[in-house]
Amino acid sequence: MKQPIRFSSVMFWFGMAFLYLPMLSLVIYSFNSSRLVTVWAGWSTKWYGELFRDEGLMAAVWRSLEVAFWSANTAVCLGVLASVALTRFGRFRGRSMLHSLVAAPLVMPDVIIGLSLLLMFVSMTDVLGWPQERGLFTIWIAHATFGTAYATVVISSRLKELDRSFVEAAMDLGAAPVKAFVQITLPIIMPALVSAWLLAFTLSLDDVVIASFVSGPGATTLPIEVFSSVRLGVSPKINALATLIILIVSLVTLVAWWLSRRKLKRDKLVRS
């Protein structure tokens, strides 16, 4: 059994280098004083200053955060309902359809989702007169929709492995199903809700294709802004932005890992 472990270890660390070296290069060159991103001309933090002075980009950051916040909220709410339906209700009419509706957005190419939703909004405006114009509102709907699919996967996999005896005990003691869910199940699956929320949030913050289709005048989100600037070539400002994103994501991940490890240790102590 020695041989395979060694081979897969080599492949693993090779793969890790492949995943992380490009990100490392982004971080290093964000501190480069030269405008030509790949020619080194000494340390400097001036691109961070330029980044924060770029009002267009900063406005896009706030718009994106706003859309991501509301999309994630919506996605988690719909995701909880869909997960409860899929994992708790047994067989019901429309179960297989709901299942397809949740699975398909996970793999559907972005260009198809974006195009079809835009045509849908245009037709709705035509027939119903609503939505009057496309913008952050339509992006919110689009992001909430694919976010729901991801949120459902995360939440339902937690609900599936949940020990149901607590809930049954509560119901035996006379708690209504809704009360039992809110007071017993929700607190237990809270970590899953948080990770589903974070996933929907980052997916929304990251989407450029769907947002380009369903966005309207004046509603450029951060990825749309970054995409149009990247198409024109490399810019150190984008490196600075990338470094900040990597920093924030790493910190959040570290804190989440630390919290879950602490909880695991405490649970072990309680049990022993």
Binding to another protein, residues 127-166 (CB under 8 A): 141-142, 144-145, 148-149, 152, 156-157, 160-161
Q: Does 272 bind another protein (CB under 8 A)?
A: no
78, 154, 170, 200: residue in contact with another protein (rule CB under 8 A):
78
Amino acid occupying residue 4? P
Q: Quick check: helix, strand or coil at residue 162?
A: coil
Tokens coding 145: 């929709």
CA distance 250 to 211: 26
Smallest separation, CB 81 to another protein (Å): 5
Smallest separation, CB 33 to another protein (Å): 16
45 vs 253, which CB is nearer to another protein? Answer: 253
5 vs 270, which CB is nearer to another protein? Answer: 5
Q: Does 34 bind another protein (CB under 8 A)?
A: no
Smallest separation, CB 267 to another protein (Å): 14
Contacts to another protein from residues 162-221, by CB under 8 A: 176-178, 198, 202, 205-206, 208-209, 212-213
Query: What is the number of other CB atoms lying within 10 angstroms of the CB of residue 51?
Result: 21
CA distance 205 to 142: 12
Q: Does 51 bind another protein (CB under 8 A)?
A: no
What backbone phi and psi angles, to 5 degrees, belong to 30?
Answer: -75, -20
How many residues touch another protein (CB under 8 A)?
100
CA distance 75 to 195: 12
33, 34, 183, 250: residue in contact with another protein (rule CB under 8 A):
250
CA distance 77 to 81: 7
Q: Does 259 bind another protein (CB under 8 A)?
A: no
The DSSP code for 182 is I
17, 41, 119, 251: residue in contact with another protein (rule CB under 8 A):
119
Contacts to another protein from residues 228-247, by CB under 8 A: 230-231, 233-234, 238-239, 241-242, 245-246
Tokens coding 89: 């209700």
Q: Does 258 bind another protein (CB under 8 A)?
A: no
CA distance 272 to 261: 17
**C-alpha closest to that of 65 among 172, 261, 193, 202:** 202
42, 43, 91, 126: residue in contact with another protein (rule CB under 8 A):
126
CA distance 12 to 80: 35
14 vs 169, which CB is nearer to another protein? Answer: 14
Smallest separation, CB 187 to another protein (Å): 19
Smallest separation, CB 220 to another protein (Å): 14
CA distance 180 to 186: 9
The DSSP code for 43 is B
Smallest separation, CB 143 to another protein (Å): 10
Q: Does 41 bind another protein (CB under 8 A)?
A: no
The position carrying tokens 């237990």 is 188
